[in-house]
A and B are shown apart, each in its own frame.
Chain A
Amino acid sequence: MCLMDNLSVLVARAQRGDKDAFGELYQLFYRKIYRYCLIHTNDIQLAQDICQETFVRAWKAMPSFSEKNGGTFQAFLFKIARNQLIDNSRKKKESRLADYQNLEDRENLEERVYRHDAIDKVRKALGKLNEIERQIITLHYFEDFSGEEIARVVGMNEGAVRVRTHRVLVKLKEILQAEE
């Protein structure tokens, strides 16, 4: 049985209420969801909370998930996570740009341990993009999502995502060059 078949079986079991199957899905995806939340929040505690809440919501929404029309469980999870990030951003009433630019103010010891130069520079550059552009870059470049999966997460059509991806990559490179 291939990985995708195995994933489909786990999803079907979880949809029927099997918590162990959902636990296996959690083990497969929590790392991805966490790092995705972290790059967008730059806050370990918050990224952890959003990651956990994403899985709670995914469990509730499992019966409505369908693989028909090319839907993937990964895109389903990331869409929930993205909505959580947007909700969180609204709640805090702080601009996303400020979050990205004031990195030093928010650093704690644990963050200092893992932070590296390259990702910090890119994170700062991401702060100069809008929310959709940041999502597209993260999903396309860092997570290797297909155009269809990105379209599902950000709620755009696939064609528009393809065009936007190319433009945003160029824009990000320009920002990075300007800062060098």
Chain B
Amino acid sequence: MSENLLKESKREYLETPLPEYLKYDGWRDLRVKLEPRGWSLWGMAFKRGVVFLAAALFFLGSLVGVAQAAKPGDKLYTVKVLADKIFAQVTGNYEVKVQRRAAEVIETSRSNESTRAADRANREYQKALDEAKVKAVGSGKRENFKKILERQEEKFKKESESNDQTKERLDDVIKQTEKVKDEIQNISPAEDSKLPNL
């Protein structure tokens, strides 16, 4: 019985009468509501662009976040250095870069990191020093930068004295720091203008 009822209801369903409106005016009314495809294509492309940009920013942000824990020699260390470089260029604060590279030099010298990692840390510290020197001289912040270098030198020496293992590794960076400090001190105002702008 229920089989027959289902069959009958299917027949009635398929014969559902259409309202007059849909039959005669449905498409005419609908047509005017349809936006030109060009606009909707642009709209869709724009939406996709925004989604892609948001995803890219999220990915980059996460990458930079994770890279903050990277040490010299790690694969993500380059990302960390690059992020610091961009931060320094945007804010004009090159001293922070020096401080962070110096902290890495101390860290690698303390641990039993490979010579390669220590060398990389030293190289990056030297680069940061050179860049910060040029910027400090160019912006007239020599005194401030000199103080930072003095504090940094002090930290290196303290670390060097406390641990024989780190002494050898830190001697080089102490010399580098002293050299830059002397250069800043001895630079004449006339020479300031000759320094290249980074």
A-B contacts at CB below 8 angstroms, number: 95
Interface size on A, residues (CB 8 A): 40
CB under 8 Å from chain B, chain A span 9-60: 15-17, 19, 22-23, 26-27, 30-31, 34-35, 38-39, 44, 48, 51-52, 55-56, 59-60
**Alpha-carbon distance A173/B30, docked complex (angstroms):** 39
CB under 8 Å from chain A, chain B span 2-18: 2-3, 5-6, 8-14, 16-18
Whether A142 and B13, one on each chain, are in contact in the complex, defined by CB atoms closer than 8 angstroms, is: yes
Whether A177 and B34, one on each chain, are in contact in the complex, defined by CB atoms closer than 8 angstroms, is: no
Whether A56 and B33, one on each chain, are in contact in the complex, defined by CB atoms closer than 8 angstroms, is: yes
Q: Does A159 contact B (CB under 8 A)?
A: no
**Given A39-B13, A119-B9, residue A17 in contact with residue B30 (CB < 8 A):** no
**Given A52-B26, A180-B1, residue A17 in contact with residue B9 (CB < 8 A):** no
Tell me if A's interface is mostly helix, strand, loop or mixed: helix
Q: Does A113 contact B (CB under 8 A)?
A: yes
**Given A52-B29, A118-B8, A173-B2, residue A17 in contact with residue B14 (CB < 8 A):** no
Residues of B with C-beta under 8 A to A60: 35, 40
Q: Does A122 contact B (CB under 8 A)?
A: yes
Residues 9-48 of chain B: 1 if any A CB is under 8 Å from the residue's CB, otherwise 0?
Answer: 1111110111101100011011101111110110010000
Q: Does A167 contact B (CB under 8 A)?
A: no
Q: Does A69 contact B (CB under 8 A)?
A: no
Interface size on B, residues (CB 8 A): 32
Residues of A with C-beta under 8 A to B18: 31, 34
Residues of B with C-beta under 8 A to A23: 27, 31
Q: Does A71 contact B (CB under 8 A)?
A: no
**Given A64-B44, A113-B17, A141-B10, residue A176 in contact with residue B33 (CB < 8 A):** no
**Alpha-carbon distance A52/B25, docked complex (angstroms):** 11
Question: Which of A56, A113, A116, A172 is the most central at the interface, judged by chain B CB atoms within 10 Å of its CB?
Answer: A116
Question: Which of B6, B26, B41 is the most central at the interface, judged by chain A CB atoms within 10 Å of its CB?
Answer: B6
**Given A51-B22, A64-B44, residue A19 in contact with residue B34 (CB < 8 A):** yes
Whether A63 and B21, one on each chain, are in contact in the complex, defined by CB atoms closer than 8 angstroms, is: no
Closest to B4 in A: A118
Residue numbers of A with Cβ under 8 A of B are: 15-17, 19, 22-23, 26-27, 30-31, 34-35, 38-39, 44, 48, 51-52, 55-56, 59-60, 62-64, 110, 113-114, 116, 118-119, 121-122, 141-142, 172-173, 176-177, 180
- Other contacts beyond A31-B18, A34-B16, A48-B22: 19, CB < 8 A: A17-B38, A30-B26, A39-B13, A48-B21, A48-B26, A51-B26, A55-B30, A56-B33, A59-B35, A62-B37, A63-B44, A116-B12, A119-B13, A121-B5, A121-B9, A122-B5, A172-B6, A177-B1, A180-B1
